Amino acid sequence: MRLIIAEKPSLAQAIAEALPGTSKRQDGAINCADTTVTWCLGHLLEQAPPEAYDPADKQWRLDRLPIVPAQWKLMPRSKARGQLAVIRKLIKQATDVVHAGDPDREGQLLVQEVIEYMKYRGPVQRLLISDLNKPAVSRALAKLRPNAEYQPLFEAAQARSRADWLYGINLTRAWTLTGRQAGHDGVLSVGRVQTPVLGLIVRRDNAIRDFVPHPFYPLWVDLNVAQGQLRAWWAPKEHQPLDDQGRLIDRKPADALAAELPGATGQLAKLDQQEKRQAPPLPYSLSALQVDAARRHGLSAQMVLDICQRLYERHKLITYPRSDCRYLPEEHLQLAQRSLTGACQNDEALQQWLKGADFTLRSKAWNDKQVGAHHAIAPTGKPADFSQLSATEGHVFRLIVRNVMAQFYRPLRTFEVKAEFTLLNEAFRARGQSILDPGWKPLFTTRDEAPPLPPLTQGEACQAVGAGVEEKETRPPEPFTDASLIKAMMNIGRYVDDPTVRRTLRDTDGLGTEATRAGIIETLVQRGYLVRQQKALRATKLGSALIAALPSAVSTPERTALWEQRLRGISEQQDDPGAFQQALLDDLRGLLTHSDAAKLRQSLQTAQGEAGGPAKRTGTRNKRRENVKRKPAKQR
């Protein structure tokens, strides 16, 4: 008997439907002739707790840290024992096993750790499915690969799981026990991803709190030129009183110049005119989709992930959603017209977009070299029954279709003009843009970024017909939202001061992964470290106090982003799991020496003493959460 182990029941059902012959469902499995399909329910196994290694570690004690297992153990999750029993019975009867986890690092771990836990020693093949529709599943079944080819991916996922355990268990115990000494009765959860994310928000909130606005004074001048009129803005010279953004912070020079300008003549000193072509935005990765859906429809990152899972599993309208890739396989190009026609079948807006598509075009999105374990999110081609979709599911589905559809629209062509005029020995700048060919742009917005300028010629004369000074005020940074926080996690190098580390981080996956970023945000909310204020994500008093008490190395993104780089190296056989764990342990021992009850007590008192501000709690439910003692979940 061949046994296929899928990651979840919906995937198992899709595989069974693509197998030849009739299928018969039994408890925890589906029989299809000589093949049986069973499934996991997400992770069936979890890392054993510290007391499973040594009963003395059931009690939390600082002198027992760090806790480091000599031989790692897994144990069944409390609700997984029944399904594990089903798999154990079936795997004893199997002549060969097919691993059908999701096509990513975590999917490789999830099924393979079950196979190894059962001590199965027979042949194992790998089935990679990113589209649950029957034709796609049938194609995948015809392309089975030896599971051994994916052993480095498993080792990277296993290294991540063990490292998260070591980091979370030891630092959470250390700071929770230190918190008790400081008078805080509750768990202070620390994780290698969640804590740097919290640190980003706390530092942004602090910057907003400490921001001191100052006025600045832009000066405009309206100019008559040969073929019309335009508005230009003064570019003050460096000897003027300017801030670090080059803005004038003393009004007197602006008022004096504005009084002299009317009637003054000058000339066009510099003219830069060029036609630009902009390719359509690429199809979505999950994080890119979360950013757009948050901005356009106000959806949280977790809501977008949940919607995508339903569109993938229940409705079978999109391909595998937990993707970090924005490119599509070249073989999909020949299927694109058919899949988009099917996807657009029952929606008027999508039908209009389809009419404008030119399927003879080929964008840079179709690139096998950019596709790894999975490709960009795309419609499967199954017609959507919008009566069966919620409004938010419809919004997300249209975004996914739109970004693939845009690959069959012409590039956006613009004519951009930058002009610098000289009057009274001062420089005045203007810029404008004309749309030559809107291309894909109407699918995204009808707004023009800059109005066009009249036709200009280098050296032509100009005359000022009016001038004025505006009084503006600098603004504090914007608080993080789901969209901007996901984008920050994707581009974490921007928040790193060390230029060497910043360069290194350009090539990593950022902070967290496509599959975990939404969950990290929700975990911080649930643990009482963050609160949502309309669309904004703000740190609570407890969250701010924890970041203030922790070593900066724990709450900044460098370490965890470099972790991801090393994990990628393991998955590509360029790094060693043992060396990675040893480096982590050396790091961990150093961090544990920094737990300081006096510093934590001061941080908690400072946070409690602050009235108002971004860290202020709202609602009795959140207040209660800060004082509830909880069993810590797995840390990330």
Q: What is the pLDDT of residue 507?
A: 64
Which segment, 443-452, 561-570, 620-629, is predicted with the most confidence on average? 561-570
**Residue 137: inside a domain:** yes
Q: What is the mean pLDDT of residues 201-230?
A: 97
**pLDDT tens per residue, range 239-251:** 889 999 999 999 9
In-domain check, residue 298: yes
- Whether residues 316 and 367 share a domain: the answer is yes
DSSP 564-625: HHHHHHHHTTSS-HHHHHHHHHHHHHHHHTT--HHHHHHHHHHHHH--SSTT---SHHHHHH
Does 623 reside within a domain?
no
Give the per-residue pLDDT at 497.
Answer: 79
- Contact by Cβ (8 Å): 327, 371: yes
Domain limit, last residue, from 454, 473, 492: 473
pLDDT of 268 over the 50 cut: yes
Average pLDDT, the chain: 91
Confidence at 397, pLDDT banded by 50, 70, 90: very high
Strands 265-278 and 23-26, by their bridges, are unpaired
Question: Quick one: 503 and 577 in the same domain?
Answer: yes
| Span of 179-193, 544-558, 610-624 with lowest mean pLDDT | 610-624
Instruction: Please write the tens of the pLDDT for every residue from 321-341.
Output: 988 899 999 989 999 999 999
Please determine, for residue 376, whether its predicted confidence score (pLDDT) is greater than 60: yes
Last residue of a domain, one of 426, 456, 473: 473
The answer, yes or no, to whether residue 550 has pLDDT greater than 50, is yes
Q: Are residues 352 and 227 in the same domain?
A: no
Give the rounded distance of the alpha carbon of 138 from its chain centre: 31
- Residue 466 and residue 348 share a domain: no
Domain count, the chain: 4
With contact defined as beta carbons under 8 Å apart, do 46 and 634 qualify? yes
Express each pLDDT in 285-312 by its tens digit. Answer: 999 999 999 999 999 999 999 999 999 9
83-89-94-98 Cα dihedral, nearest 10 degrees: 10
Q: Which residue is catalytic, options 320, 327, 409, 495?
A: 320
> Which H helix or E strand runs over 138?
helix 134-141
CATH of the domain at 423: 2.70.20.10
* Predicted local distance difference test score (pLDDT) of residue 566: 87
Supply the pLDDT for residue 611: 38
User: What confidence score (pLDDT) does residue 578 get?
Assistant: 94
Separation of alpha carbons 391 and 604, rounded Å: 43
Both tokens of residue 407? Answer: 């690959």
Model confidence at 615: pLDDT above 80: no
Q: Once rounded to an integer, what is the mean pLDDT over residues 441-464? A: 89
219-246: average pLDDT: 95
Is 505 inside a domain boundary?
Answer: yes
Burial group, residue 634, by CB count within 10 angstroms (0-12, 13-18, 19+): middle
Q: Between residues 98 and 619, which one has the greater pLDDT?
A: 98
pLDDT for position 446: 66
* pLDDT grade for 117, boundaries at 50, 70 and 90: very high
* 132 and 7, same domain (yes or no): yes
pLDDT of residue 104: 83
Please compute the mean of the pLDDT values over residues 222-234 and round it to a whole number: 97
Domain that holds residue 311: 286-408
Give residue 448's pLDDT. 61
In angstroms, the CA 485 to CA 464 distance is: 45
Residue 468's pLDDT is: 97
- Domain-located, residue 82: yes
Instruction: Looking at the structure, tell me whether residues 292 and 333 fall in a common domain.
Output: yes
If asked whether residues 381 and 431 sit together in one domain, one would say no
Report CA-CA distances (Å) from 439 to 31, 68, 281, 406.
51, 58, 12, 9
The CATH number of whichever domain residue 523 belongs to comes to 1.10.460.10
Per-residue pLDDT of 6-61, as tens digits, reads 998 989 999 999 999 888 998 899 999 899 999 999 899 999 999 999 999 999 99
Tell me if residue 320 is catalytic.
yes
Please check whether residues 440 and 551 belong to one and the same domain: no
Instruction: Name which residue leads in pLDDT, 342 or 510.
Output: 342
Contact 373, 153 (CB under 8 A): yes
* Tokens coding 152: 């480095």
* 616 found inside a domain: no
Shared-domain flag, residues 9 and 131: yes
Would you say 340 and 401 are in contact if contact means Cβ atoms under 8 Å apart? yes
